Amino acid sequence: MISLMNDLKLITPKLFSDERGYFLESYSFSKWDLPCTFVQDNQSYSKKNVIRGMHFQTGQAKLVRCIKGTIFDVVVDMRQDSKTFGQWKGFTLSEDNHNQLFVPDGFAHGFGVLSADALVLYKVSTEYDPTLESGFRFDDDRVGIQWGIDNPIVSQRDQKASTFEEACFCGL
């Protein structure tokens, strides 16, 4: 496990492989010592060039992994008292590298699909609550995420999302 940007963690599970295939522990509560428990599993399927994000829900942490295909997974620190406030980091998560990203409460999250399609699974520490959910535009100039996707496919919701400044109520 590699700690990044305060509580953000990149996790590479131990892989046991042979001629039959492989086995890995996809989640280990006692070994990974993450600062939350998870109450729900979510799954999304997306096609190439789809960008989903940037989303966050107050009080919610996530553990994200890509079990089919390859995604560019992005987080942005939304914690105004943090030294890394407003900064983004991106990670390649794929069926080949088996990496998982622990996204703590206070970070916005999104991903772009780099392969023909992708299946993403993530655990969350709280159930969905529309009154606590927010987000900002995936292409907000203030944040400047470099997605590496030329013709993104984005939902109407994400196209109409607020700016980073509006989402964090920070009046930058």
Query: Considering the domain 2-168, what is its CATH architecture?
Result: Sandwich (2.60)
pLDDT in tens, the chain (172 residues): 566 667 888 988 888 898 988 888 888 766 777 888 899 999 999 999 999 999 999 999 999 999 999 999 999 999 999 999 999 999 999 999 999 999 999 999 999 999 999 999 999 999 999 999 999 999 999 999 999 999 999 999 999 999 999 998 754 4
d(CA 8, CA 112): 19
CB atoms within 10 A of CB 13: 18
The sign of the CA dihedral 151, 157, 159, 161 is negative
State residue 40's pLDDT score: 93
**What local confidence, expressed as pLDDT, does residue 172 receive?**
43
Domain ranges of the chain: 2-168
CA dihedral 69, 127, 83, 138 (to 10 degrees): 50
pTM for the predicted model, two decimal places: 0.90
Positions annotated as catalytic residues are: 55, 122
Distances (CA, A) of 54 to 32, 85, 97, 115: 26, 15, 23, 20
Q: Quickly list H helices, 14-153.
A: 29-32
- Please state, in angstroms and rounded to a whole number, the distance separating the CA atoms of residues 168 and 122: 24
Contact yes or no for 146/43 (Cβ under 8 A) = no
